[in-house]
Chains A and B, each alone.
Chain A
Amino acid sequence: AQSVAQPEDQVNVAEGNPLTVKCTYSVSGNPYLFWYVQYPNRGLQFLLKYITGDNLVKGSYGFEAEFNKSQTSFHLKKPSALVSDSALYFCAVRALSSGGSYIPTFGRGTSLIVHP
């Protein structure tokens, strides 16, 4: 079965410190991987994606993610956290559905809290 896991329900970091939000995946074939952010009572916003090419992907708001095929991971990172980065972060993978179509499958989400 194809899936994505976010092992941490919550990540706490001080403003100005680097942050990492973890994601591991399990898919057959080449993975298409994504990160999204959700602010309270809002829809999800796309941050970045990995399809092929450079393992380090840069996205919106200074975020980046590193694709690691051997560890089947796609961790989200930022060198210096801001209080405004506090939100819910979702990792997603494009997976093959039972009906034969490719559909996005999301992790359970990780709540990032950046302390002033």
Chain B
Amino acid sequence: SQTIHQWPATLVQPVGSPLSLECTVEGTSNPNLYWYRQAAGRGLQLLFYSVGIGQISSEVPQNLSASRPQDRQFILSSKKLLLSDSGFYLCAWRPQETGELFFGEGSRLTVL
């Protein structure tokens, strides 16, 4: 069966420090991958999505970047964190042939 792993689960970082959140999917190949941010426990904002290795689409301009170095690995990064980057980050994958998403357990980032 397919599983998705996301880490770290929680992170407290000072303003100006770098960030790296990692997401991997097991048990499938060529998934569509997504990074969402959820602020204040409510709406989801799509940050990045990827349909293949090295293919990244950004939905909103921001202080973050994403990379997909391997088929089932999706990384969210920042060179210098801002206070406004705090939030709950969710990675998700979607099989190519269906529409529903499968989410990781999330990474809670607090920037101080």
Report whether B57 and A104 are in contact in the complex, using a CB–CB cutoff of 8 Å.
no
Report whether A104 and B101 are in contact in the complex, using a CB–CB cutoff of 8 Å.
yes
Q: A46 with B57: in contact, given A88-B41, A101-B51, A103-B46 (CB under 8 Å)? A: no
Separation in Å of the B44 CB from the closest CB of chain A? Answer: 4
Report whether B43 and A109 are in contact in the complex, using a CB–CB cutoff of 8 Å.
yes
- B31 near A: Cβ within 8 Å? no
Residue in B6, B41, B42 with the greatest tally of chain A CB atoms within 10 Å: B42
On chain A, which size bracket covers the interface? 20 to 34
In the complex, what distance in Å separates the CA atom of A92 from the CA atom of B94?
Answer: 14
Partner of B108, one of A41, A92, A107, A109: A41
- B75 near A: Cβ within 8 Å? no
Specify which chain A residues have a CB less than 8 angstroms from the CB of B94 in the assembled complex.
104
CB-nearest residue of chain A to B6: A43
Partner of A99, one of B42, B57, B99: B57
- B66 near A: Cβ within 8 Å? no
Q: A108 with B90: in contact, given A49-B100, A101-B51 (CB under 8 Å)? A: no
Report whether B43 and A106 are in contact in the complex, using a CB–CB cutoff of 8 Å.
yes
In the complex, what distance in Å separates the CA atom of A49 from the CA atom of B102?
Answer: 13
Report whether A41 and B106 are in contact in the complex, using a CB–CB cutoff of 8 Å.
yes
Separation in Å of the A7 CB from the closest CB of chain B? Answer: 14
Specify which chain B residues have a CB less than 8 angstroms from the CB of A97 in the assembled complex.
49, 57, 59
Query: Can you report 9 residue pairs joining A to B where beta carbons are below 8 Å apart?
Result: A34-B101, A42-B105, A43-B92, A43-B105, A49-B99, A88-B42, A97-B57, A101-B49, A104-B94
